[in-house]
Amino acid sequence: MWCPEGLDEVEAELLGPTEELTGKDVLEIGAGAAQCARWLAGQGARPVALDVSHRQLQHALRIGGPFPLVCADAAVLPFADASFDLACSAYGALPFVADPRLVLREVRRVLRPGGRFVFSVTHPLRWAFPDEPGPEGLSVSASYFDRTPYVEQDDEGVAVYVEHHRTLGDRVRDVVTSGFRLVDLVEPEWPDWNTSEWGGWSPLRGHLIPGTAIFVCERD
Ligand SMILES: C[S@@+](CC[C@H](N)C(=O)[O-])C[C@H]1O[C@@H](n2cnc3c(N)ncnc32)[C@H](O)[C@@H]1O
């Protein structure tokens, strides 16, 4: 699953034809509980699930799967050059690092020539709207161009959650200047079957403004 809209890889085939995943070395970045790696293993691929959070990887370990889990920062990947055929990330790492080019360059380094990196992030347009599922989430309340990160702090003032904003142009530039070719930019539409409502996600907003941007990138 790439995004809250519900677009899944069986339908989208952004990593290429599903039947061609067999035997492919795939790196999942910001894997969380490693849902994508688990699905990829089921298709016969050889995934590696990476996350900076030990706690997230404990969930991945508890759920299980026939693939390695690696605790590391996506900006400093502990792999040799050209180790993977594909890389993917569903809302992992990229929205949470100040300089996503560090991650993109590392992913490019560990991909084999011709390798593909597909990643989904919050659609940049959402930054300008309140994160509310109802009508109050439909009026612009902040500047789309303001790159000041969103930060939540604990009682001692320590940042416990940080999300960084990049405009659509920033993201395209990040991809291209990191040595990738941008093959596609997918903006999934909210499907009628998805009646879920949580946080800032809802059919009301989903039918009017994009929620997710999925970048399909290739290493030449
Ligand atoms: C929103 S969750 C997405 C998890 C999973 N991909 C999914 O679809 O449920 C973001 C994940 O990115 C991880 N993450 C954040 N910064 C990271 C970094 N610099 N390197 C690796 N993982 C990171 C977080 O620990 C978290 O598990």
Q: Where do we find the tokens 């070719």?
A: 181
Q: How far is the CA of 51 from the centre of ligand 1 (A)?
A: 6
How many C-beta atoms lie closer than 10 Å to residue 120's C-beta? 26
Q: Is the CB of 95 under 6 A from ligand 1?
A: no
Question: C-alpha angle with apex 21: 212 to 67, nearest 5 degrees?
Answer: 85
Residues 6+ apart with CB under 8 A from 77: 27, 50, 106, 107, 109, 110
> What is the position in ligand 1's atom list of the atom closest to the CA of 75?
19
Pocket lining: 94 vs ligand 1, CB cutoff 6 Å? no
Tokens representing 190 are 């909210």
pLDDT of residue 111: 98
User: Is there an atom of ligand 1 within 6 Å of 32 CB?
Assistant: yes
Q: How far is CA 56 from CA 52, 64, 70, 199, in A?
A: 8, 12, 11, 21
How would residue 76 be classed by pLDDT, with cut points 50, 70 and 90? very high
3-class DSSP assignment, residue 109: helix
What is the per-residue pLDDT across 169-188, written as a single tens digit (0 to 9) for each? 999 999 999 999 999 999 99
Q: CA angle, corner 124, sides to 153 and 197, nearest 5?
A: 75
Model pLDDT, residue 178:
97
Atom 27 of ligand 1, nearest CA residue: 32
**Structure tokens belonging to residue 3:** 């995004």
- The mean per-residue pLDDT over the stretch 25-54 comes to 98
Decide whether any atom of ligand 1 lies within 6 Å of the 91 Cβ: yes
Split at pLDDT 50, 70, 90, the class of 220 is confident
What average pLDDT is seen over the chain? 97
User: Pairing mode, if any, of strands 111-122 and 84-90?
Assistant: parallel
How many Å apart are CA 185 and CA 10, to the nearest integer? 18
In this structure, which residue's CA is closest to atom 1 in ligand 1?
A: 91
The Cα 174–Cα 1 span in angstroms is: 24
Residue 205: beta bridge partners?
none
Q: Which of 102-106, 150-154, 196-200 has the lowest mean pLDDT?
A: 196-200
Among 2, 8, 51, 63, say which to mutate for ligand 1: greatest number of ligand atoms within 8 Å of CB. 51
Mean pLDDT across the stretch 188-217? Answer: 96
Task: Give mean pLDDT, residues 115-138.
Answer: 97
Tell me if 56 CB under 6 Å of ligand 1: yes
